Amino acid sequence: MANIYDVAKAAGVSPATVSRVLNGARVTPDREARVRAACAELGFKPNRVARGLRRQSSDVLGLIIADIENPFFTALARGVEDVARTAALSVVLCNADDDPEKEAAYLDVALAEHMAGVIISPASMTETDVTQLIGKGIPVVAIDHSPESAQVDTVASDDERGAYAATSHLIDEGYRRIACITGPRESWAAVQRLRGFLRAHRESDPPRRRPAVKYADFRVRGGYRAMAELLDSANPPDAVMVTNNLMAAGALEAMYDRELRPPAIGVAAFGDAFWSHLVRPSLSSVHQPAYDIGRSAAELVLKRRGNPDLDPQTVVLPTRLEIRDSSRRPS
Amino acid sequence: MANIYDVAKAAGVSPATVSRVLNGARVTPDREARVRAACAELGFKPNRVARGLRRQSSDVLGLIIADIENPFFTALARGVEDVARTAALSVVLCNADDDPEKEAAYLDVALAEHMAGVIISPASMTETDVTQLIGKGIPVVAIDHSPESAQVDTVASDDERGAYAATSHLIDEGYRRIACITGPRESWAAVQRLRGFLRAHRESDPPRRRPAVKYADFRVRGGYRAMAELLDSANPPDAVMVTNNLMAAGALEAMYDRELRPPAIGVAAFGDAFWSHLVRPSLSSVHQPAYDIGRSAAELVLKRRGNPDLDPQTVVLPTRLEIRDSSRRPS
DNA sequence: AACCGATCTGAAATCGATTTCAGCAAATCA
DNA sequence: TGATTTGCTGAAATCGATTTCAGATCGGTT
């Protein structure tokens, strides 16, 4: 493939001039025309690696997510892409799979390739290390919660309040023994949602004590197992608040296997899923603005790219309780 | 950040020797130890951009997919990742969103960054141009069908046969007016699945003619609209074969909105989805080995990386009809 | 002791763009 | 007209690794 020297020769100018044409610096119209003609003729496209080496930057935005199969992250990715494209950035997705080691590998790639920015949903609040990125001036935006290694821009949804609302709703519907299936203890979101769940219990009238809590892994299988254990326990719950949509699918399956379904058992879940409409009777869910979280995160990257010394800011987007099928008929 | 010259100076050797240590060439143990110590001391990590420029290659594998929200592709991505990691390659996902323009942009990135390989589910059989990649010796593997621009390694599932089996099953169950909701005409998979559907009609005894066919977009909304139109038509079908899982979700929703559900209406769909268990009574589905397709594709990339002049080969993986709830009681 | 071959080393070239800097020409001003 | 500014231009340095190549070192043979 043709390089900038070939083009320069073909156009009868120096490589510097070709570079200037490519980057919009001032060049006499006559030369500019010759350069453009030569570029077209030779099918020249500037080598991004060479450019990246010299410029110490690239126009690729890294998005490191915890689980590629989780619709929350795929919707988020859409939001990131839509904003990135307005700034002519390409988005590459990296699936860290909740594994700090894989995550570290991708952070290395982002660092080494001098990506234009990194949006990351940290696998671990303590282990995720973004200091090198920051040190090199690469904008980093965290989803949910800033890693401890460095304070960075963060976009989160109002998880605690969402969980509070969902749990209160179940209480209002008359359920007595409400359990919670939440994510791993290392996950900020899992912890916040559990807090909201517990607060709803404390603040109910009369206050309720010691609801059952299961920690799972935010995956379908984990949700299934947690629900199965709850249902098969000596004192099974009559309702459950599940803190993400994949686990909700698993939990529902466990219920179905036991011929249980709403409203005999109350279910509220975090997250939207296109399949949730197919579950009838339907369940209440806490809508997470995944797409908008993605948009906001990408906007923060762009903002910080312009002026790197801004103080880190946190954007919290509201969650919204969507009530469906509240026709509980207490038995 | 420290570069190779800093390390060389610290270790009292030349940069060439540092490079040799990094790449496993023979170096006296004494020097090697000094170099390793200096690397650790300075926290040195080789700059991948510089390496990429010199080597004209990188250790990133590009995966360009049509729709990030489609579980088929996310499962496929898992397969790719698992194989890639055995070869120490990082996988980056690019969401082309069925848009030839976005796709072209990502192909440009792959080309410019000299990726170790590209796995692509072509947005269009005619427009997708991979000749430049091929020309530069970058292994390209297509999902479903090779683009017309160049004959490349291809991994597909046996779509035609799967669709035939699913449709025949509906016929055997006694449904009379079976419609098909398939994807865009530009999609090879959509066309193959439609062919299987039509063949099942031709080869049934007695042969059936002119079944209703709707072309949609492989998305939930498209499936919903197509099904709504079918159901609201003068002569609605009593069964439907839907060629992907997202459209199946939409189609089911349209049915539910009209208080219709299996087995009053027969449904067979392509693809697996974790939520399909939640749809009860359940539907028959054609299992696509998405994960294995990803694995095979990645293996082909690795194979071709070793010896670039192999003839392009095509791997076809079997689909499997999963029959659920065949308790049709003809009315 | 002289020679040969094998092994290792570092100086320098290389990948392909960007950017600095000095030089030159044209335009502006006194 | 001469001095000064302005605007373009191209040669060369630069980014940071890899790799070629010529030379140094060492052990083993005759």
> Among A81-95, B193-207, B315-329, which is the least confidently predicted range?
B315-329
Q: Into how many domains does chain B fold?
A: 3
Mean pLDDT lowest for which of A238-247, A287-296, B122-131, B160-169? Answer: B122-131
Write out chain A residues lying below 8 Å of B106, CB-based: 90
Gap from A9 CA to D3 C1', Å: 37
Q: Please give, rounded to a whole number of angstroms, the shortest distance from the CA of A91 to a CA of chain B.
A: 7
- Identity of the residue in B45, B52, B90 whose CB atom sits nearest the CB atom of A49: B52
Are B8 and B52 in contact, with CB atoms under 8 Å apart?
no
Q: Write out the residue range of the structural domain in which residue A208 sits.
A: 159-287
Amino acid B282: pLDDT: 66
CB pairs under 8 A between A and B: 126
- Hey, which residues does A93 pair with through a beta bridge? A63, B93
Note the pLDDT of residue A326.
44
Report whether pLDDT(B325) > 90. Answer: no
Q: How far apart are CA A236 and CA A213, in angstroms?
A: 12
Is the same domain home to B258 and B183? yes
Based on the fold, state whether residues A271 and A231 are members of the same structural domain: yes
Say if B141 falls within a structural domain.
yes
Q: Is B307 helix (H, G, I), strand (E, B) or coil?
A: coil
Q: Which of residues 55-94 of A touch strand C (CB under 7 A)?
A: 55
**Residue B105: inside a domain, yes or no?**
yes
**Is there contact between B21 and strand D, defined as CB under 7 Å from any strand atom?**
no
Our CA-based measurement puts residue A203 at a distance from the nearest CA of chain B, in whole angstroms, of 34
Which residue on chain B is closest to A75 by alpha carbon?
B69
pLDDT tens digit at each of 331 positions of chain A: 788 999 999 999 999 999 999 998 888 999 999 999 999 999 898 999 999 999 988 889 999 999 888 889 999 999 999 999 999 898 989 899 888 988 998 898 898 888 999 999 988 778 888 988 888 889 999 999 999 888 999 999 999 999 999 999 999 888 989 999 999 998 889 999 999 999 999 998 887 878 899 999 999 899 999 999 999 988 899 999 999 988 998 898 888 888 887 678 888 898 877 676 676 666 788 999 999 999 999 999 999 987 777 889 999 999 998 876 544 433 3
Identify whether B327 is part of a domain: no
SS3 A219: coil
pLDDT at B80 > cutoff 50? yes
Q: Which residues does A265 contact at the CB level (< 8 Å), separation at least 6? A: A237, A238, A239, A240, A255
* Pair (A163, A153) in one structural domain: no
Output the distance from A182 CA to C18 C1' rounded to whole Å: 51
Q: Does A75 touch chain B (CB under 8 A)?
A: yes
Q: How far is CA A206 from the centre of its chain?
A: 37
**Domain match, B35 and B153 both:** no
Residue B328: per-residue pLDDT: 42
Rounded CA–C1' distance between A26 and C29, in angstroms: 25
Q: How far is CA A193 from CA A144, A160, B23, B87, in A?
A: 12, 5, 47, 39
> In this structure, are B20 and B166 located in the same domain?
no
A69 touches chain B (CB under 8 A): yes
A248 and A131 within one domain = no
Question: pLDDT value at position A127?
Answer: 85
Residue B132 pLDDT class (50, 70, 90 cuts)? confident
Instruction: Look at residue B90 and tell me if it is in a domain.
Output: yes
> Which of chain B's residues 182-241 bind strand D, using a 7 Å CB cutoff?
none
CB contact under 8 A, B93 and A274: no
Does any domain span residue A323? no
Let me know if residue A331 belongs to a domain.
no
Sort out which chain A residues have CB atoms less than 8 A from B252's CB and list them.
278
Instruction: Find out whether B117 and B140 touch, Cβ atoms under 8 Å.
Output: yes
Task: Identify the burial level of A329 via C-beta atoms within 10 angstroms of its C-beta, where 0-12 means exposed, 13-18 middle and 19 or more buried.
Answer: exposed
A88 close to B (CB below 8 A) = no
Are A151 and A237 in a shared domain? no
Supply the pLDDT for residue A329.
Answer: 38
Does some domain include residue B230?
Answer: yes
pLDDT score of B193: 95
Tell if the CB–CB gap between A249 and B220 is shorter than 8 Å: no
A14 in B contact zone (CB under 8 Å)? no
Question: Could A275 and B280 be called an inter-chain contact, meaning their C-beta atoms sit closer than 8 Å?
Answer: no
CATH of the domain at B173: 3.40.50.2300
Mean pLDDT for the stretch of residues B237-243: 92
First-last CA distance in chain A: 75
| SS3 category, A54 | helix
3 state DSSP class of B304: helix
Once rounded to an integer, what is the mean pLDDT over residues B265-291?
A: 80
Is A193:A159 a contact under the CB 8 Å cutoff? Answer: yes
Residues A265 and A281 in one domain: yes
Q: Which of A48, A97, A109 sits opposite B90 (nearest CB)?
A: A109
As a whole-number percent, the residues of chain B with pLDDT over 70 amount to 94
Residues 26-45 of A with CB under 7 A from strand C: 44-45
pLDDT range class, residue B280, cuts 50, 70, 90:
low
pLDDT value of residue A331: 35
Contact partners, residue B15, CB within 8 Å, separation at least 6: B4, B5, B7, B8
Span B62-85, mean pLDDT?
Answer: 92
Give pLDDT, residue A324. Answer: 67
CATH assignment of the domain containing B38: 1.10.260.40
pLDDT of residue A84: 93
The answer to whether residues B171 and B257 belong to one domain is yes
- CA gap B244, B184 in Å, rounded: 12
Best probe of the A interface among B68, B72, B245, B261, by most A CBs < 10 A, is B68
Q: Could you tell me if A228 lies within 8 Å of chain B, comparing CB atoms?
A: no
**Is there a domain that residue B331 lies in?**
no
Q: Are residues A131 and A168 in the same domain?
A: no
Q: Which pair of structure tokens corresponds to residue B95?
A: 């969401």
Which positions ≥6 away from A205 have C-beta within 8 Å? none
A47, A109, A274 ranked by CB distance to B112: nearest: A47
Best of B278, B280, B283 to substitute, by most chain A Cβ atoms within 10 angstroms, is B278
Q: Is the CB of B15 under 7 A from strand D?
A: yes
Residues 273-292 (A) with a CB less than 8 A from some CB of B: 273-275, 277-280
Same domain, B114 and B218: no
B59 and B168 belong to one structural domain: no
Q: What is the pLDDT of residues B24-44, one digit of tens each?
A: 888 898 899 999 999 999 989
CA B15 to C1' D27, whole Å = 27
Instruction: Answer yes or no: do B1 and A277 touch at CB < 8 A.
Output: no
Predicted pLDDT at A186? 85
